[in-house]
Amino acid sequence: MRQETKCIQAGYHPGNGDPRMIPIIQSTTFKYDTSEDMGRLFDLEADGYFYSRLQNPTCDMVAAKICALEGGTAAMLTGSGMAANFLAAFNLAGCGDHIVSSSCIYGGTFNLFHVTMKRMGVEVTFVDPDCTEEELDAAFRPNTKLVFGETIANPSLAVLDIEKFARAAHAHGVPLVMDNTFATPINCRPFEFGCDIVTHSTTKYMDGHDASLGGAIVDSGNFDWMAHADRFPGLCTPDESYHGITYAERFGREGAFITKCTAQLMRDLGTVQSPMNAYLLNLGLESLAVRMQRHCENALKVAEFLEQHEKVAWVKYPGLPSGKDYALVQKYLPHGTCGVVSFGVQGGRKGAEEFMKHLKIAMIATHVADAHTCVLHPASSTHRQMTDEELIAAGVAPDLVRLSVGIENVDDILEDLGQALAQI
Ligand SMILES: *Cc1c(COP(=O)(O)O)cnc(C)c1O
């Protein structure tokens, strides 16, 4: 099946007389005839459900659709994108370990690595995604357990050179984990370029309607854990909390990562996605391919309009041929990038605030990447405690406006931007 077809068909195959749409199985528990039947589930010897904190049929069907879209071998849903990034990283790196991460990542993930996981004894080295192979190489330590990056970074919109990062990771015997939220598997499938594990904030384009928070983790099944058994004892030595199962032996490359992440981390941390949210996410996934195409068409027209507007100081959009990452875009994202555009208006911070006040369709919201066009001025909202100098150091210019272009008629969006710019 092609991607557009998988969006509709993958993950759930109803039998004779079954509901056509994925059923919402809201039940927390599942019934068995004998204690022995249930015991086999607890020993991971049989497949089945017993408690929705570990696995739920509705969530599994939606995870299977995302798995098919990414071209992976196993997947799981989580309660949010942050939960997905935490579980994916913590499944590999614990106290005394080290992560190499691109410095151009979502602010929440930056805090997760830099503050919260640091308190758990995990260290991180941030590297500029445009660094040389030698600089990247120098960031590794003997205790490095993974490399992390974002396909298209939120909010900097930097594009990752996936093959460069995958080569470095594999040369040091560790997997490349990538957050593919902004590109979605419609525009990029990182596994095709050597990435090993993909995460998502499904809250963004996958849901696409501001309707439900969620996350997902997908394994490519390509990383050979047993070939690096000393580095990954959690996957390659017996887990005492499951009667001595060794995940990499029992579930192979295809299933070890997600089985451990579900059976051990989800069991203990409990950051599940609810079946109702998974149902809403599935509705979003059905139209993902159509929506992504429209988001990208609209965003490119908006970026071109802004680029030639006299009141606009600068524009950044990965799909613009004038951008510094355009060679990477042609290689990794030939069919489209995302719907997010950032730009600066004349008059700096005051100009940006004035411009946004006059917008009628583009609404002010902290969210990005959904059907509704929305806009944010970080300097007066998410980053408002910072001075202009601090903002510039953090890569967030005082005049930066982040515009998430929706799927409305683009002429209405352009007219709205035009009339607001005319008033500053
Ligand atoms: C929003 C976002 C997250 C966090 O996802 P939540 O669902 O809000 O927890 C992680 N990564 C990226 C790239 C995001 O845009």
The pLDDT tens digits of the residues spanning 341-360 come to: 999 999 988 999 999 999 99
Residue 88 structural domain: 3-282
Return the closest-CA partner of residue 89 out of 69, 104, 109. 109
CA distance 68 to 74: 9
Please work out whether the CB of residue 199 comes within 6 Å of at least one atom of ligand 1. Answer: no
Q: What's the confidence (pLDDT) of residue 320?
A: 97
Structure tokens at 342: 């950032």
Distance (Å) from CA 177 to ligand 1 centroid: 15
Residues 280-313: pLDDT tens digits? 999 999 999 999 999 999 999 999 999 999 999 9
Q: Which of 282, 315, 342 is the last residue of a domain?
A: 282
* Residue 317 and residue 270 share a domain: no
CATH number of the structural domain spanning residue 48:
3.40.640.10
- Side by side, which strands form the sheet with 312-316? 312-316, 340-345, 400-404, 374-376, 363-364
CA distance 58 to 248: 26
Residues 174-188: pLDDT tens digits? 999 999 999 999 999
The pTM score is 0.97
**304 SS3 class:** helix
Q: What's the confidence (pLDDT) of residue 261?
A: 98
Look up residue 279 and give its DSSP letter.
H
* Residue 390 and residue 273 share a domain: no
HSE of 329 in the Cβ direction (CA atoms, 13 Å)?
19
> In terms of pLDDT, which residue wins out, 395 or 384?
384
Ligand 1, atom 12, lies closest to the CA of 106
* Residue 276 and residue 408 share a domain: no
Using only C-alpha atoms, the chain has a radius of gyration, in whole angstroms, of: 22
Q: Which of 282, 300, 329 is the last residue of a domain?
A: 282
Q: What's the confidence (pLDDT) of residue 394?
A: 66
* Residue 322 and residue 254 share a domain: no
8 Å CB contact between 122 and 95: yes
Distance (Å) from CA 321 to ligand 1 centroid: 27
Q: What's the confidence (pLDDT) of residue 47?
A: 86
Other residues' Cβ atoms within 10 Å of the Cβ of residue 337: 28
Q: What is the mean pLDDT of the chain?
A: 95
* Residue 135 and residue 51 share a domain: yes
* Residue 175 and residue 122 share a domain: yes
Classify residue 283 by burial, with Cβ atoms within 10 Å: 0-12, 13-18, 19+: middle
Please work out whether the CB of residue 150 comes within 6 Å of at least one atom of ligand 1. Answer: yes
Averaged pLDDT for residues 120-139: 97
Q: Which of 216, 250, 282 is the last residue of a domain?
A: 282
Per-residue pLDDT for 1 more than 70? Answer: yes
* Residue 295 and residue 278 share a domain: no
Q: How many domains does one find in the chain?
A: 2
* Residue 191 and residue 294 share a domain: no
Please work out whether the CB of residue 80 comes within 6 Å of at least one atom of ligand 1. Answer: yes
Please work out whether the CB of residue 404 comes within 6 Å of at least one atom of ligand 1. Answer: no
Q: What is the DSSP string of 87-104?
A: HHHHTT--TT-EEEEESS
CATH number of the structural domain spanning residue 329:
3.90.1150.10
* Residue 300 and residue 213 share a domain: no
- Side by side, which strands form the sheet with 123-127? 74-78, 215-219, 197-201, 176-179, 144-150, 98-102, 123-127
HSE of 175 in the Cβ direction (CA atoms, 13 Å)?
28
Q: What's the confidence (pLDDT) of residue 387?
A: 79
* Residue 306 and residue 222 share a domain: no
Q: What's the confidence (pLDDT) of residue 395?
A: 67
Distance (Å) from CA 114 to ligand 1 centroid: 16
* Residue 220 and residue 72 share a domain: yes
Q: What's the confidence (pLDDT) of residue 393?
A: 65
* Residue 187 and residue 169 share a domain: yes
Ligand 1, atom 15, lies closest to the CA of 154
